[in-house]
Amino acid sequence: MSEAKQRSGSGAIETNTAEDAEFRAEARAWLDANATLRRVDADEFKRRWAATKTDPVEERAHADLCKVWQRRIFDAGFAGIAVPREYGGRGGTRNQHRIWQQESRRYDIDTGLFSVGHGMVLPTILAHGTEWQKERFVRAMLRGDEVWCQLFSEPGAGSDLAGLTTRAERDGDEWVVNGQKVWNSYAHVADYGILLTRTNWDVPKHRGITYFLVDMHSPGLEVRPLRQMTGVAHFNETFLSDVRIPDAHVLGGVDNGWAVAQTTLMNERDLIGGAGGSGGGFRDLVEMASHFACAGDARIRQQLAASFTRTKILEFLGRRTRAALAAGKVPGPEVSVMKLAVSEHLALNGDLMMAMQGPHGMLYEGDAYEHGYWQQQFLGQWSVRLGGGTEQIQRNVLGERVLGLPPEPRPDKTEPFKDLPRN
């Protein structure tokens, strides 16, 4: 099989097969004919991200536009590139999926509303779903018919996700769910959600959890937006009061939800790590240094060099994860390495971008550089750093599963959940 070298959308040189080179050319041709190249300056993309308020009408219009774009991508054969054809995908390779990501992000296409569905839900359903679930949900997801959200975190559980107390009780061929979830991205515009519940209180906490696919329009389900310090409200809290879910919507088996959730969480960490956690790149930081005339400052130059180094390390970590996926391996602790590296990268880049702006960093919205886009990036870093598992959680994973360090004594892992003290 012959090989060809192609320059990716991120500027990196990658060696692909002849089939991959042909696929890249096909993707570029379609994108050139159907989309507009993203501008480098403060364009509509940055203005949208710099928004400090949420207008429900505009938000719904944006959601509808995302659905239109996703349907066009699906009809063109570029949705679910590595998903089997029988479920609506292209039946291609993971490397071709990566090529599409590289090429499409150069264009003014916004399908981020589907990030939870495509990046986290889809691989989980493919790995654990019944044949009916795959046929019912995967094609609709790829086509852009349905938006998904994640209903995992709870106010009383904190970082200890397995300490959740949302209760699901069987009633014939249905389950009745009561509880509260929080930090649910896009839940207010979602059609379906992935939901973790407690179904067995007589076993240790990790063994009594069940994973559901829930219709977000179900009676008894209420979504309330949470306004963040950035001013926007894409996070939500979700209340479930006697919500009925069909037994056919259990994913992966009753009381086996923790194992299913691990697939979701590993893919979430890969999703966050693969995106670098931020909408801004190294070139943007260099342009900022030039704009604020601080590129000659020795300390700034050192921090820029360190940022570039971290950027390349993240790129290599991403390639390692993709290589494991291409070999048919389930994402493992390596994605925790990448997630932790992303968190530290965001923290250091946030300090750097504020240092370069100096007193201008206190400005906001239209008064600030690039409409306050970078202030939003600085304030928004904690949602990325906390999402998918905090830095402390990632260090625990790496310490126990990679370095082989003894875990701390945890009687809560072996005692029945009903006997554990709770908030």
CB-based burial of residue 75 (10 Å sphere; 0-12 exposed, 13-18 middle, 19+ buried)? exposed
Confidence at 390, pLDDT banded by 50, 70, 90: confident
Mean pLDDT for 149-168 is: 91
Q: What is the pLDDT of residue 116?
A: 94
Of 35-44, 203-212, 271-280, least confident by mean pLDDT is 271-280
Q: What is the pLDDT of residue 322?
A: 74
Confidence at 7, pLDDT banded by 50, 70, 90: very low
Which ranges in the chain are annotated with CATH 2.40.110.10?
A: 150-255
Confidence at 32, pLDDT banded by 50, 70, 90: very high
Of 105-119, 272-286, 315-329, least confident by mean pLDDT is 272-286
- Position 40 pLDDT exceeds 80: no
Quote helix, strand, coil % in the chain, to nearest 5: 55, 15, 30
Q: What is the pLDDT of residue 8?
A: 41
Class of domain 18-110: mainly alpha
What are φ and ψ of residue 378, in 5° steps? -65, -50
- Position 49 pLDDT exceeds 70: no
Which ranges in the chain are annotated with CATH 1.20.140.10?
A: 275-389
Are the beta carbons of 332 and 266 closer than 8 angstroms? yes
Tens digit of each residue's pLDDT (9 = 90 or more) over 340-364: 898 999 999 999 999 999 999 999 8
Architecture of the 150-255 domain: Beta Barrel (2.40)
What are φ and ψ of residue 37, in 5° steps? -60, 140
Confidence at 274, pLDDT banded by 50, 70, 90: low
Distance CA 269, CA 384 (A): 10
CB-based burial of residue 362 (10 Å sphere; 0-12 exposed, 13-18 middle, 19+ buried)? exposed
Question: Hey, how many other C-beta atoms are within 10 angstroms of the C-beta on 363?
Answer: 13
Helices (H), 137-182: 139-143
Element (H, E) at 373: helix 373-386
What are φ and ψ of residue 241, in 5° steps? -125, 105
Distance CA 365, CA 47 (A): 9
DSSP 261-322: HHHHHHHHHHHHHHTTTSS--HHHHHHHHHHTT-TT-HHHHHHHHHHHHHHHHHHHHHHHHH
Are the beta carbons of 71 and 143 closer than 8 angstroms? yes
Q: Which CATH superfamily is domain 275-389 in?
A: Butyryl-CoA Dehydrogenase, subunit A, domain 3 (1.20.140.10)
Q: Which positions are catalytic?
A: 268
Tens digit of each residue's pLDDT (9 = 90 or more) over 123-143: 999 999 999 999 999 999 999
Q: What is the pLDDT of residue 423?
A: 63
Q: What is the pLDDT of residue 42?
A: 47
What are φ and ψ of residue 149, in 5° steps? -135, 170
Whose CA is closest to 168, among 263, 261, 246, 265? 246
